[in-house]
Amino acid sequence: MADQNNPSDNQKQVSADGRDHSRLISVDHTDPCLDTAQLNQLEQSFRKWTTSSPRADVRFSRHRILITFLLIRYTGAKLNEVLAVDLFKDIDKKNNAVTYGSTGPQPGSKLRTVHLSEALCHEILELTHTPLFRKKKGRMADLDPGFVRRKFYERAAACGFAKELGGPEALRRARAVELMQGNLPLPAVQKILGHTSPGLTSSYVTFSESEIQDIARRFMEKESGRKTSARNAFFCNVTDIVTGDIQTRVDMITMEGHPVVTVITNDSVHRLGLVPGKWIVAEVKAPMVMLQDGADAFNGSVENRFKGTVTRITRGKINTECIVRVSDTTHICAVMSSAGTWLSGVNPGDAVWAVFSCFSVILHMD
């Protein structure tokens, strides 16, 4: 899955929780990055700092820094891309998106549109509805990159992080890891970050450009809304539908070629408009996932089975949470009783099967 035009993409990067992820940007593979909780803490620090000055001109300057941070934090853009944005022209309030590359030192370069959550798009537009923004005509280009970096470093230090982890490049890397930990398909991650040569040699399913854009848009809205408590989400293509008297079996495949099967009511099939070739989000709650020893071939009748490696295990008095890495872009969370004798011997690095029944899979269009 590495960019074949960039040999360094074959390396790995390590997130703050110790998990390896396929390399998306040029950083040393030992570089850490902020996790989601730390990114949220940094965001709150920016917000508090932005409104803490009584002077309108200072608040305006800080609002522009905040917008720069938010665009990098949620779109993974480069600093120079964000500073070239015309907030009045490049923020699409109808489609909730930002377009990079329409202005700047390289006119005529390829445009890149990245979806924003509706809430974030609305917030940015609200911030620009001031006389000072209108005076600047929405341009960000007069912001000094060095000044922006210093403010990013200051906010990171104020949160108790190493200042380098708050830099624009580190935030871009952190966003890439965050998206991949959320099981967003690799083509969508690479499109968001502006990579043009995905090299998806391990993908068995081809998604069109419009489908990848739609997946990214839906992911952004779901991430923003947090409307589901399910820990495991898979973006799938429907491959077959077998209709019975009451229920229907739906066969799907993830972008990396992993089969997923669910059984739902016939009414649900019609309500969701399911047909072969349609993409859908399949979700499974962590308590529905069971683990089995992965040293041998799987022996059982359960329909959904993923072989992977335990990357993190958190043992509690009642329950134990395990994170299983199936591939660079797929991690499965399982929560089981701590009372099991086999589970007490499982450690990070162990091979396991993560399995779940077809009746545990819930389908979502949004």
What is the per-residue pLDDT for 228? 52
> Mean of the pLDDT values across residues 47-64?
90
Give the span between the Cα atoms of 3 and 179, in whole angstroms.
Answer: 18
Q: Output 238 or 188, whichever has higher pLDDT.
A: 238
> Mean of the pLDDT values across residues 242-261?
91
Give the span between the Cα atoms of 255 and 187, in whole angstroms.
Answer: 9
Give the span between the Cα atoms of 69 and 159, in whole angstroms.
Answer: 15
Instruction: Tell me which of 125-139, 163-177, 309-323 is least confident.
Output: 125-139
Give the span between the Cα atoms of 133 and 125, in whole angstroms.
Answer: 10
What is the per-residue pLDDT for 112? 86
pTM for the structure as a whole = 0.60
pLDDT tops 70 at residue 286 = yes
pLDDT tops 60 at residue 202 = no
pLDDT tops 90 at residue 2 = no
> Mean of the pLDDT values across residues 93-110?
74
What is the per-residue pLDDT for 148? 95
Length of the chain: 366
Strand order in the sheet with 290-293: 290-293, 351-356, 304-315, 319-327, 330-337
Helix, strand or coil for residue 256? coil
Can you list the domains of the chain with their CATH numbers? Answer: 7-181 (1.10.443.10), 228-366 (2.40.50.100)
Scanning the chain, the segments in alpha helix (DSSP H) are: 36-50, 56-75, 79-83, 118-127, 131-135, 145-158, 168-181, 186-193, 209-225, 266-272
Backbone angles phi, psi at 262, to 5 degrees: -135, 155
> Mean of the pLDDT values across residues 1-22?
35
Q: Are strands 362-364 and 304-315 parallel, antiparallel or unpaired?
A: unpaired
To the nearest whole number, what is the mean pLDDT of the chain?
81
Q: What band does 103 get if pLDDT is binned at 50, 70 and 90?
A: low
Give the contacts of 326 (CB within 8 A, at least 6 positions apart). Answer: 258, 306, 307, 308, 332, 354
What is the per-residue pLDDT for 264? 95
Q: Output 6 or 265, whichever has higher pLDDT.
A: 265
- Evaluate whether 365 touches 280 at the Cβ level (below 8 Å): yes
